Every structure is written in C-alpha cells, then in structure tokens.
Amino acid sequence: MADVESPAAPHSTPVPGASSMAGSQAPPGVPLLAVSGLQSWYGESHILHGVDFEVRRGEVVTLLGRNGVGKTTTLKSVMGMVGKRRGSVRFEGGETIELSSDRIARLGIAICPEERGIFASLTVLENLLLPPIVREGGFSLERIYALFPNLQERQASQGTKLSGGEQQMLAIGRILRTGATLLLLDEPTEGLAPVIVQQIGGTIRKLKEEGLTILLVEQNLRFAQTVADRHYVMENGRVIDMIPNAELDANMEKVHEYLGV
C-alpha cells in the first residue's frame, strides 16, 4: 500500500487548508502536467516509446494522430491505468509515476473515456453522484445542471435512454463533480451530430474560462481548432511535433500528412 514518495515530492506534504482553486498547488512557472520519456505496456505489448509533452495551467491541449498511435494509451498512462509505465509524469510539479490510479485521481486528474462509461441501469442523477469527490472545489449539481440543462431535465431518466450527446455531457459532468482540475477527454465529439459537437465545444471553452485544464484526444481537426491552444501530434507511441493553434492553418498540409487525411 505504501505510496512511493520522497520529501522532494510536493504531494507528500499537502498544505492544511490550502485553497481548492484549480491548480493552486502548482508552483509558479511549473506546468500543471509534464510528461517526459513516458513508456507504457499492456502486458508484453510495448505501446508508448518515450512520450514528451506538457500542459500548462488553464490550457486546452490536444493529442492528434492516426488510429492506433497511442493517444488513448497516453491518457490512460497519465492516469496510471496501464499495465506498466516508466518515465516521468509530473502533476503540479510532483512525480506520479509510482502512484496508483486511485492516488492520481485524488491529486485532481480525471479521465472521461471514449466509451463514456455511463451506467445504463442507473439514472442520470445516480450516474452523476457515482464518482467519489476527491478534492474540494468540485462542481455542485446546480453548477453541472447550469452547464448542461438537458441533464437536469433528464435527471430521472435511465442512462440507456440518453442520446449520444447527453451521454457525453453526463460523462463530462460526472468528472467535474470530483473536483479534478485536469480533465483528460478521449474523443468527446466522436459520433455526435454537428450541433452537439458545437455544444461540446462551447462547454470546453466555458470550462477553460473557469480555470480548468484540458487534455483532449481528438480526430476532428476542425473541432480541435475551435477549442485548443496547442496541438501535439503522435506517431508510433511518440510525440513527433507540437503546433500552436494560431499556426495550425499555416501548417495544414503537414498536419494532413501526419493524420493521413
């Protein structure tokens, strides 16, 4: 059970009564998330071969890349949800590579998986109340409903009765309640109608305004462009390029080549 920590790791000495504002424990100038030389395995399969990137507080950053390059695995690896990981994943300056996924969640990182993970037999409200609150500063139900009015209207509906868009909103709303300050979103727009995609975009921009930090896996480049500050491109289990959003248009030819579109 012993978490491997040293006095140098800020997480080993939580400050009593520390403010619960998003990212407030990160020392100034330190990226909220700094990943370097990250390698991951599922069993014997070596998937990530040294992934490097960082996400600064308040940023929306995407991971782009063709199918199977390791985008989902990168999110899972940040969360500690792979068989084995090596390298460095620092959150708020503290090393997490030796921590369990449960412990990582309690630092304030939450993942919204591609399959969304809505419990079909539970109502919207029950789904919302399911994940444990890990930190102060999580969204109240009122705040979640203000962000997603549809969810309030449907709070007594079963998970199965929701549209794809509503399921995605529920999956995002659910992790906001936990108090996480870094959200890992895996293809939140996948399979959704354009009008819902726009709504998700609006939500991501609003969450950014509220101080949350978001690492987003996206296939929809045009959508990514409307929400992100920077884009990392992955290939074969590595990050091979970083493009600021403002320079995306000028680099479109290169990006299309990376993505094979």
Ligand X SMILES: Nc1ncnc2c1ncn2[C@@H]1O[C@H](COP(=O)(O)OP(=O)(O)OP(=O)(O)O)[C@@H](O)[C@H]1O
Chain residues binding Mg ion by CB under 5 A are 71-72
Q: Does 71 bind ligand X (CB under 6 A)?
A: yes
Return the amino acid letter for 203.
Answer: T
Q: How far apart are CA 97 and CA 221, in angstroms?
A: 30
Q: Considering beta carbons, is residue 51 or 147 the nearer one to ligand X? A: 51
Q: Does 45 bind ligand X (CB under 6 A)?
A: yes
Q: Considering beta carbons, is residue 104 or 147 the nearer one to ligand X? A: 104
Q: How far apart are CA 189 and CA 200, in angstroms?
A: 7
CA 104 vs. chain centroid, Å, equals 13
Q: Which residue is nearest to Mg ion (CB)?
A: 72
Return the DSSP state at 123.
B
Q: Does 72 bind ligand X (CB under 6 A)?
A: yes
Q: Does 84 bind ligand X (CB under 6 A)?
A: no
| Closest CB 223 distance from ligand X, rounded Å | 15
Contacts of 157 by beta carbon, 8 Å cutoff, 6+ apart: 123, 124
Q: Does 77 bind ligand X (CB under 6 A)?
A: no
Runs of H (alpha helix) within 70-193: 71-78, 101-107, 124-129, 141-147, 149-153, 164-176
Please, which residues bridge with residue 185 across strands? Answer: 112, 216
| Closest CB 67 distance from ligand X, rounded Å | 4
Q: Considering beta carbons, is residue 94 or 188 the nearer one to ligand X? A: 188
Q: Which of 73, 167, 178, 203 binds ligand X (CB under 6 A)?
A: 73
Q: How far apart are CA 149 and CA 168, in angstroms?
A: 13
Q: Does 67 bind ligand X (CB under 6 A)?
A: yes
Q: Which residues bind ligand X (CB under 6 A)?
A: 42, 45, 47, 65, 67-73
